[in-house]
Amino acid sequence: MRGLNYLLSAFVVTLCSTASVSSAVAAGYSEHPEAIKWAEKMKAQGFSAADVDALLNGVKKQQSILNAMDRPAEKRLDWGGYRKLFLEPKRINRGVIFWFEHEASIARAAAEYGVPEEIIVSIIGIETYFGRNMGSYRAMDALATLGFDYPRRAEFFQGQLTNLLTISQQETRPLTRMKSSYAGAMGYGQFMPSSYLDYAIDFDGDGDRDIWGSPDDAIGSVANYFKAFGWKTGGPVVIPVTVSTDISDESLINTGEVPTKTVAQWKELGVIFDSGVLADTSQPAVLLKMKDKDNVQYLLGFNNYYVITRYNRSRLYANAVYRLAEAIAQARADELKGS
């Protein structure tokens, strides 16, 4: 009976919680203090009161988004776990298929923007499994939830909600039809609204920057993004190195900063690498440490590594993009050789 009473009590609590959440969802954000402040700013900037009020009345709080923000993969996984997540054979094989399906657009984007074909493919593969997992949330709900109920990054997400409203008006794209991830990232390449405004392009020539429905637009937009952030055509991304002496200053490793220390300077600190892999020791690089349980691998990351981190600041992410690109390119080459 004690167990039954406990279950009944839990059931009642669940019902009450559900009713409370449902009521909050139905109410939208029109009465939320932070939303009211945001609305006043938008109207002062020239957005129509009708559009702003309609948005706040229409958005719905998503508790699942707030829960997801507290458990990103970068905090839970080391490099070994991250590699298993993103470099599995199915993703590699699907990457080869996607590349063949959109071969002309990928080749054209690489030629026009100077970004390797396999990097473009890899980004889309990691972000959305080549368009299969673009997110099922309405972007307006995701950004409102995070903008008004996630204080740690409220300013950023409120700004993104403003950008989403701008996209809707400039592109005549209904707010309710723009889908996103739980963090508000949209389309094949998971662009935040600010990135959409700055870097999304109409690559298929139909007059619409459709990163959700047009793989061609997504491919061109990813390449444009990388070029805008300074991708160097033909430049290295990362190279494996060994460390001959313990680098006592841990602040030198995994800094996430723009590479400034040259390869020659790293050599003086005890970093060893094959000179046949990299002859130019004047290039700036950062020292990276990748852990797979008890195994440790060191890498030097160059300008193009840093550019990848402009997409996602995680070193694990950047290494996964590069390694998946290598794996897809090799698998495609093997298939072409065998055909």
User: Tell me, what amino acid is at 179?
Assistant: K
Active site residue 88: no
Q: Which residue bears the tokens 């490793």?
A: 253
Q: Which of 117, 118, 127, 335 is catalytic?
A: 127
Give the angle 271-274-277 at the CA atoms, nearest 5°.
120
Per the DSSP assignment, residues forming a β-bridge with 58 are none
Question: How far is Cα 83 from Cα 88, in angstroms, rounded to an integer?
Answer: 8
Question: How far is Cα 62 from Cα 184, in angstroms, rounded to an integer?
Answer: 12
Question: How far is Cα 231 from Cα 113, in angstroms, rounded to an integer?
Answer: 9
Instruction: For the chain, report the end-to-end CA distance as a whole number of angstroms.
Output: 69
Give the count of beta carbons closer than 10 Å to the beta carbon of residue 197: 16
Give the count of beta carbons closer than 10 Å to the beta carbon of residue 273: 19
Q: Give the sign of the dihedral formed by CA 219, CA 220, CA 224, CA 225.
A: negative
Question: How far is Cα 316 from Cα 52, in angstroms, rounded to an integer?
Answer: 39
Question: For residues 142 and 181, is the Cβ–Cβ distance under 8 A?
Answer: yes
Token output for 95 = 């990457």
What element of type H or E holds 272?
A: strand 271-272
Per the DSSP assignment, residues forming a β-bridge with 325 are none
Q: Give the sign of the dihedral formed by CA 162, CA 164, CA 168, CA 171.
A: positive
The closest of 339, 329, 308, 321 to 99, measured between CA atoms, is 329
Q: Catalytic residues, which ones?
A: 127
